[in-house]
Amino acid sequence: MNYTGKMIAYFVANTLVLYVINMLAPDQFVFGRGQIPYIQALLTTSFGLTIAVMMFDLLVFDFKVKMSSEQYIVMEALVDIGALYLFARTPLQNSIAVGIGAFWMALVAGLAISMVQYGAKFFVEHRLK
């Protein structure tokens, strides 16, 4: 499996989705603050989500966890939602500078990110061989 290609594809996909979500709902999804600029917060959040999903992928692969593709997609979505919520609602928020208005925003954003990540994963695994 091409982990470098997948990581780059996930990072680009996450960045684009987070940017679009911020443009569609700027009052509910906020990047940056006084000390941390917008672009740094966007890229840090995107990279954190990429690392979280890649770690999940590596754990499933290394421990040879038997999972159907549907279960894998659901677990990947839960990782995205959980990581995004943790970034926005824990003390990590001070370092990452991402904010969400409510849990449902993390849910919607996590599901959107998961769908785009699935497309990026398909592209890397099937097109870049």
Q: What is the pLDDT of residues 103-126, one digit of tens each?
A: 999 999 999 999 999 998 888 888
Q: Are 22 and 29 in contact (CB under 8 A)?
A: yes
CB atoms within 10 A of CB 115: 15
Q: Are 128 and 9 in contact (CB under 8 A)?
A: no
Q: Are 106 and 88 in contact (CB under 8 A)?
A: yes
Q: What is the mean pLDDT of residues 48-52?
A: 96
Among 42, 99, 47, 110, CA closest to 76: 110
Structure confidence at residue 1 (pLDDT): 55
Structure confidence at residue 112 (pLDDT): 95
Q: What is the pLDDT of residues 36-47, one digit of tens each?
A: 999 999 999 999
**Is residue 17 scored above 80 in pLDDT?**
yes
- The pLDDT > 90 percentage for the chain reads 74
How sure is the predictor about 129, in pLDDT bands with cuts at 50, 70 and 90? low
Instruction: Name all contacts of 50-55 with Cβ < 8 Å and 24+ positions apart.
Output: 50/7, 50/10, 50/11, 50/14, 52/79, 52/80, 52/82, 52/83, 53/10, 53/79, 53/80, 53/83, 53/117, 54/3, 54/6, 54/7, 54/10
Structure confidence at residue 36 (pLDDT): 92
How sure is the predictor about 77, in pLDDT bands with cuts at 50, 70 and 90? very high
As given in the structure block, the two tokens for residue 113 are 């990110």
